[in-house]
Structure 1
Amino acid sequence: MKKRDAYEQEILAAYEKGELETTSPSKGDLSKFKAAATATFIKDRRINIRLSSPDLMDIQARALEEGIPYQTFIASILHKYASGRLVEKPSNLTSRSTRTLRDKAAQRRLALR
């Protein structure tokens, strides 16, 4: 688990002391938020894309790490890229495509002996 920074520690301490209050948005604000969310995430276009099997397996594994379906994960990546907010974070998994290339190179070295 990731360590908490000072701000997060402060929030946690306030929560544990019961110093935080729950607030609800007004009905007007709530309807504005819902309308903005709906307009932002309307999926009105369909695309088809061809991927290599190892790349698809890597994407599916990353989606599993994130706890979301892989098609939703792909759409999220594309949205973040298009809006300039894509930040890559390293995976805990070994890439199948990298592993496949490494395995093929090892096989070629053995065949040359």
Structure 2
Amino acid sequence: MKKKIKSEDKQYEEDIVSSFENSEWQSVPNLKEETARYTSSASATLAKDKRINIRLSSRDLEDIQMRAAEEGLPYQTLIASIIHKYASGRLIESTQRPAPRATGRTKKMHAG
């Protein structure tokens, strides 16, 4: 999986360089104001002033931890990001479904 991620990162970087070299980038008018606006927005988004406790299945937590590791994030940061995207209406459901994982019951049935 790491090779796939690195390959995707490299392609993304190449696309950015190509776009820049083709003069597709434009300066932002009022750069200082735009920078201040985005800085303020990011600060408000990242402010964590409430704590919650939730119960998850071990399986879901392991999946989240695995995905967080793939992204190079702490798993709690990933969970907070998912909740923020959902709350702000920006969480987009993927049409691609992950492959189902084997359950303990399935393993026992195959062992017997």
TM-score range, shorter chain: 0.5 to 0.7
Match of 2:91 in 1: 86
When residues 61 and 110 of structure 1 are mapped into structure 2, their CA distance, relative to the original with a 3 A threshold, is closer
Between 1 and 2, higher relative CO (CA 8 Å, sep ≥ 6) is seen in 1
When residues 66 and 23 of structure 1 are mapped into structure 2, their CA distance, relative to the original with a 3 A threshold, is same
Contact 1:63 1:70 (8 Å CA) reproduced: yes
Q: Aligned with 1:48: secondary structure?
A: coil
1:13 and 2:14 aligned: no
Taking only aligned residues, the RMSD between alpha carbons, in angstroms, comes to 3.6
Match of 1:42 in 2: 47
Contact 1:62 1:91 (8 Å CA) reproduced: no
Match of 1:58 in 2: 63
> How big is each residue's C-alpha offset from its partner over 1:69-92, in whole Å with a ceiling of 9 and x where there is no partner?
100000111111222222244587
Count of matched residue positions in the alignment of Structure 1 and Structure 2: 101
Unmatched segments (≥5 aa) in structure 2: 1-6
Identify the match of residue 72 of structure 1 among 67, 71, 77.
77
Q: How far apart, in 2, do the equivalents of 1:83 and 1:14 lie? A: 30
Q: Aligned with 1:81: secondary structure?
A: helix
Larger radius of gyration: 1
Contact 2:65 2:75 (8 Å CA) reproduced: yes
Q: Aligned with 1:50: secondary structure?
A: coil
